[in-house]
């Protein structure tokens, strides 16, 4: 990691009740949440935007992305119809800060079909710092879209995880270096201290 722009936003992908109940690898979802909370607290303290992205779906599946795939929808998450109440709510450790931006998506990417880009541009954001679950799905899709939209992208590799450790490794080692810069929670916190103190 080299730098953080003066208007950098933290974007946390799918850290919600239903996802936090799943296991993750190589990092536990609990560790990802803990690290993201630390980042969010620091961003808020410096007056930088925090974006909390949640995924939801209609109970009857009517808003699911169409198209045939080799793999059935089997991320390990329950279907919307079978999900417990509140599965799609931002987890309590992150929720409840009135200044945060909450974006609701119905696809993998936090940009597709949402107002995320509008929120960022109106706040003069030029860089995003990404955390979340799952690395190879929601995080990678959002990183690709952010890159395509012209944002500088920083990926916090110890504040994201996947259901499949090999998928996480592939995203971190093969895809993310093409989309932005990677680093740890400590790296980002160090840069925040250096650039905003």
pTM for the model: 0.92
Helix residue ranges, H only, the chain: 17-20, 29-45, 116-122, 140-148, 165-170, 176-179, 185-196
> To the nearest 10°, the Cα dihedral for 122, 128, 129, 134?
100
- pLDDT at position 195 is 81
**Do residues 179 and 144 touch, judged by C-beta distance below 8 A?**
yes
Q: Which residues of the chain have pLDDT under 50?
A: 74-78
12-58: per-residue pLDDT in tens? 999 999 999 999 999 999 999 999 999 999 999 999 999 999 999 88
- pLDDT at position 74 is 47
**Do residues 138 and 14 touch, judged by C-beta distance below 8 A?**
yes
């Amino acid at each position: 990691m080299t730098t953080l722009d003066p208007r950098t936003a933290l974007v946390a992908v799918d850290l919600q009740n239903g996802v936090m109940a799943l296991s993750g690898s190589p990092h536990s979802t609990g560790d990802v949440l803990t690290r993201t909370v630390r980042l969010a607290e620091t961003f808020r303290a410096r007056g930088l935007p925090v974006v909390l992205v949640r995924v939801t779906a209609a109970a009857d599946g009517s808003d699911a992305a169409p198209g045939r795939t080799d793999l059935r929808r089997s991320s390990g998450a329950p279907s919307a119809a079978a999900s417990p109440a509140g599965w799609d709510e931002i987890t309590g450790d992150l929720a409840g800060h009135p200044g945060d931006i909450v974006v609701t998506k119905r696809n993998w990417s936090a940009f597709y079909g949402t107002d995320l880009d509008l929120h960022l541009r109106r706040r003069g954001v030029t860089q995003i710092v990404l955390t979340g679950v799952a690395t190879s799905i929601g995080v990678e899709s959002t990183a690709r879209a952010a890159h395509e939209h012209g944002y500088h992208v920083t990926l916090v590799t110890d504040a994201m995880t996947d259901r499949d450790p090999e998928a996480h490794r592939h995203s971190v080692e093969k895809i993310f270096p093409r989309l932005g810069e990677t680093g740890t929670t400590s790296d980002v916190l160090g840069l925040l201290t250096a650039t905003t103190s």
